[in-house]
């Protein structure tokens, strides 16, 4: 797609093959080609090496526990029993919670910025929101610990309890650090992703679609909701999947607010743990090959899950806009 058909290196005039190769090498032609090829091959090598290392280094744990690893709850370095269910649970719960908050908010913002707001305001706000997507996660962790958690404790959670207190997810003691806090921090972090990619996808919808809809008497909102959004739906789904992949793999912010207690509780207000957080906390202190290998297996799980989700996301965005494929 990117190469120029007329300038393909294979169409260069060829004399004796070896002689012309040496000639081109001297002229720098082949050298330049080989150099860039080597760089490209390095990328392939590194990507495969990551998978290979995770797979090989987790062998001990994979062989010993098999698939039970993901479905048992004991995590005991002393007896050598490792079951990752509490971490998997925490990762899933916090990511789903983050999506529940971030999808309506992010999509609403993207629709407003792409379709309804005046272009100047839209561009300026989109610029700012994109800047916010660049804020490092450790800073969100810091803010989560010292700003968000106190706010949740003093006002948000009591308010939620008076309305939804009968639901099991809002029962039990609340000490601040919890699945809930982690989910909220994650949602704040992924909203900018959803907004900036969805906005781009919406802007890529052909103008004729809108004009046709307006011409038959639909108003702005009807056009947006019944014509533009369905047209861009795949790309929007893609942006949500990208955000999900980021939430699942997010380490620092979650580690700082989830509480780091390996347990499975129905209440969102209870402290929990996540896959990335347990790796961050225990990896350097892990004693013994089995313990290290179990943590690396968690890394492998994270790698595979994000691999699948990212793949789906790229596929969906690519089918809507070429541009979105590398944002």
253 to 312, contacts with another protein by CB under 8 A? 256, 276, 279-280, 283-284, 295-296, 299, 302-303, 306-307, 310-311
Nearer to another protein, 18 or 43 (CB): 43
Give the x-and-dash track for 71-90 against another protein (CB under 8 A): --------------------
Under rule CB under 8 A, which residues in 186-215 are in contact with another protein? 188, 191-192, 195, 200, 203-204
End-to-end C-alpha distance for the chain, whole angstroms: 19
Beta bridge partners of 259: 272
323 by Cβ neighbours in 10 Å (0-12 / 13-18 / 19+) ranks as middle
CB of 171 to another protein, least distance (A): 26
Residue 327 Cβ, how far from another protein at the closest point, in Å?
9
Of 42-50, 70-78, 92-100, 168-176, which segment contacts another protein by CB under 8 A? 42-50
- Among positions 216-235, residues that touch another protein (CB under 8 A) are 219-222, 224-225
165 versus 222: smaller Cβ distance to another protein: 222
> Does position 27 bind another protein by CB under 8 A?
yes
Which tokens in the block code for residue 262?
A: 């390996």
Tell me the pairing of strands 75-76 and 81-82: antiparallel
Cβ-contact 114, 199 below 8 angstroms? yes
Backbone angles phi, psi at 16, to 5 degrees: -65, 140
φ, ψ of residue 210 in degrees (nearest 5): -65, -45
**DSSP-derived 3-state class of residue 86:** helix
Q: How far apart are CB 19 and another protein at their closest, in Å?
A: 17
* DSSP E strands, the chain: 75-76, 81-82
Count of Cβ atoms closer than 10 Å to residue 22 Cβ? 12
Figure out which of the listed residues 176, 235, 238, 249 binds another protein, where binding follows CB under 8 A. 249
**Residue 48 or 168 with smaller CB distance to another protein:** 48
């Amino acid at each position: 797609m990117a190469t120029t058909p007329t300038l393909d290196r294979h169409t260069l005039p060829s004399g004796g093959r070896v002689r012309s190769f040496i000639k081109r090498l001297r002229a720098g032609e082949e050298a330049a080609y080989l150099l860039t090829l080597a760089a490209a091959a390095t990328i392939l090598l590194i990507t495969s090496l990551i998978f290979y290392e995770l797979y090989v280094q987790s062998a001990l744990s994979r062989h010993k526990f098999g698939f039970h690893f993901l479905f048992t709850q004991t995590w005991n370095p002393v007896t050598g029993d490792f079951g990752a269910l509490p971490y998997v649970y925490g990762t899933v719960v916090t990511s789903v919670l983050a999506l529940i908050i971030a999808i309506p908010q992010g999509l609403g913002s993207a629709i407003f910025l792409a379709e309804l707001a005046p272009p100047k305001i839209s561009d300026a706000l989109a610029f700012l929101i994109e800047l916010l997507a660049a804020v490092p996660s450790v800073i969100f962790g810091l803010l989560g610990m010292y700003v968000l958690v106190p706010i949740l404790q003093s006002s948000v959670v009591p308010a939620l309890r008076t309305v939804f207190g009968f639901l099991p997810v809002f029962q039990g003691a609340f000490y601040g650090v919890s699945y809930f806090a982690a989910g909220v921090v994650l949602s704040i972090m992924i909203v900018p992703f959803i907004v900036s990619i969805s906005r781009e996808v919406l802007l890529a919808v052909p103008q004729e679609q809108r004009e046709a809809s307006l011409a038959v008497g639909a108003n702005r909102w009807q056009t947006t909701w019944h014509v533009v959004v369905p047209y861009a739906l795949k790309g929007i789904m893609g942006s949500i999947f990208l955000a999900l992949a980021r939430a699942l793999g997010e380490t620092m912010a979650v580690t700082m607010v989830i509480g780091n207690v390996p347990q499975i509780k129905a209440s969102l207000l209870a402290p929990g743990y996540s896959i990335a957080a347990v790796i961050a906390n225990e990896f350097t202190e892990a004693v013994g090959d089995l313990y290290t290998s179990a943590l690396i297996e968690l890394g492998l799980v994270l790698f595979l899950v994000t691999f699948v989700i990212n793949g789906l996301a790229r596929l969906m965005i690519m089918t809507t806009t070429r541009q979105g494929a590398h944002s």
